[in-house]
Structure 1
Amino acid sequence: MSTLAHEVTGSGQPVVLLHPVGLDHTWFAPHAAALAENYQVISVDLPNRVALDRAADAVAAVLSQHTDQPAHVIGVSMGGMVAQYLALCHGHRVASLILCATAGGFDPQARPMLRERGRSALREGMASVVEPTLTRWFSSAAKDSPLGRRCSERLLATDPADWAAAWEAISRLDTVRHLHTLAVPALVITGSLDTATPPAAAAELARALPSALLEIVPGAHHLGVFEEPRPFLDAFARFLRARTPTSRKDSDT
């Protein structure tokens, strides 16, 4: 597998940003800019058409190029799934986990529905999946905003085969029964209006992790981290400050 496209900004203890299905690292631009004031931020484009554990292997390879330190890993939706495999398969690379709008597994009856999200794009094209995807991800106001239009354009540019492969990988997610082995601190966070990975799923994920905090952002939807980034960034910052011995800003004062 070739090296993943990625962007590195800032300096200090590394923070890795892993994006949702169908998007890319550029969606984290405001988050990376804020975090880069105190951390080395590595924003990664996840690979196409691979299993989630293989995606984690590729992220670990990117980390090895830039740092010997364990990284704080922030994953959103599918990115949060890859983050879990990164911690399970490359634990020495992970200092902590921030798992945003994600899950550790799905009920058996839900897995065919997840696969169908990808297969419908193969049959009918990406235009057929844009509306239901935006409905799951954003508020009705955001769907008609520049954010929603940007997301629509991004999805329409996606290769249906890549989309289908990603949903096939997501449908196979099965980490929750292994998470008890992880000793790293974790923050599990989602929006109160997230219907894709709802608060109940976030609570289940947090219970599976030995050292996890759970935070629910009032009024936020599935990708509230992009729609209303401030409360999520504030939560990330609080969590990271408590687990970073000395930030760059602190060392300069």
Structure 2
Amino acid sequence: MPKVTVGDIDINYKIQGQGETLLMIVGLSFSLLDWGIKLPDLLSQHYKVILFDNRDAGETSCSPYPYSLAQMASDAAGLLDAIGEPKAHVFGVSMGGMIAQYFALDHADKLNKLILGCTMAGGSCSQTGDIGSFFGDDLLKLLFTTDFIRHNQADLDLFLQATKPYHSTGEALLRQLNAMSSHDTCNAVGKIVAPTLVITGDRDRVIPPENSAFLAQNIPNAQQEIIKDAAHAFSFSHPLATATTIINFLEP
């Protein structure tokens, strides 16, 4: 996959499909591989889908210094500039959804429509879930429902085996965690002007659905969709429902 220099890092990215640009921002420690195959394939039938690794993850450079989620949003905006994309729809999940909020606030001129998945505003207005054990041996149990794991155990084990080597570790992971720990848009989300869709799984243990409700209620004219029987990684476990919801929202 190609890389492009943005500021002080080289960003690893992938483009598939044609049409309006849809930039997808992944969550804490994950790489672009963690989107899986199904959802990007479904979306790329309608849009030019851009996947990329955040700084300190995947095959993007490690950061030479601490940073904020706002800086990570600037990385995303810089990526668009570097590859000649003036504007994009933006879909961020989990920490990627937090980054997407700063993209909407700080780079509104580059944003068409905003999609926030399984994320929160942080600060005192949010309810944290089981983030603390996110890096234990039970990662699959945090990301998916028990039923989904039972019916897909072998495939999930293979997927995790393939993607885990690209997850953030050590100081790189610590820098991402520190950036996320200061996230607070409680009083800022009301300034988001882009049309916004908020999506969550109804059985999310990591970032409880109440957080999506807050975002939907406080971002002007935002829409909310709840994926039934889905946990934190709803975009992977329910790709068709996720793609359909996104396409319906993005269609003019």
Q: TM-score, normalised by structure 1?
A: 0.82
Residues 130 and 151 of structure 1: is their aligned pair in 2 closer, same or farther, counting only changes over 3 Å?
A: farther
Supply the RMSD in Å over aligned alpha carbons. 2.4
| Residue aligning to 2:60 | none
**2:163 equivalent to 1:154:** yes
Structure with bigger helix share is 1
2:106 matched residue in structure 1: 89
Contact 1:3 1:62 in 2 (8 A): no
TM alignment of 1:6-85, pairs within 5 A: 6-28=13-35, 29-48=37-56, 50-85=67-102
Report runs of 4+ in structure 1 exceeding 3 Å deviation. 106-111, 141-145, 152-158
| 1:206 and 2:198 are equivalent in the alignment | no
- Please list every run of 5 or more consecutive structure 2 residues that lacks an aligned counterpart in the other structure: 1-7, 57-62
Q: Is the 8 A contact 2:34 2:163 kept in 1?
A: no
Q: Which consecutive unaligned segments of at least 5 residues does structure 1 have?
A: 119-128, 243-253
Q: Give secondary structure in 2 for the equivalent of 1:12.
A: coil
Deviations 1:194-234 (A, max 9, x none): 12222211100111211210111111101011122111111
State which drifts further: 47-56 or 132-141: 132-141
Which one-letter code corresponds to 1:47 in the other structure? R
3-state SS in 1 of match to 2:185: coil
Instruction: Trace 1:119-198 onto structure 2 (pairs within 5 A).
Output: 129-143=135-149, 144-151=153-160, 154-155=163-164, 158=167, 159-198=169-208
Give the corresponding residue for 1:125.
none
> Residue type of the partner of 1:146?
D
* SS of alignment partner, residue 97 of structure 2: helix
Amino acid at match of 1:211: N
2:122 counterpart SS class: coil
| Distance of 1:94 and 1:233 partners within structure 2 | 19
Aligned counterparts of 2:178 and 2:148: Cα–Cα separation in 1: 27
- For 1:100, the equivalent position in structure 2 comes to 117
Equivalents in 2 of 1:104, 1:42: separation in Å?
24
1:3 aligns to 2:20 (yes or no): no
Conserved 8 A contact 1:177-1:208: no
Partner of 1:220: 230
Question: For this pair of structures, how many residues does the alignment match?
Answer: 230
- Matched-pair contact (CA < 8 Å) for 2:16–2:50: yes
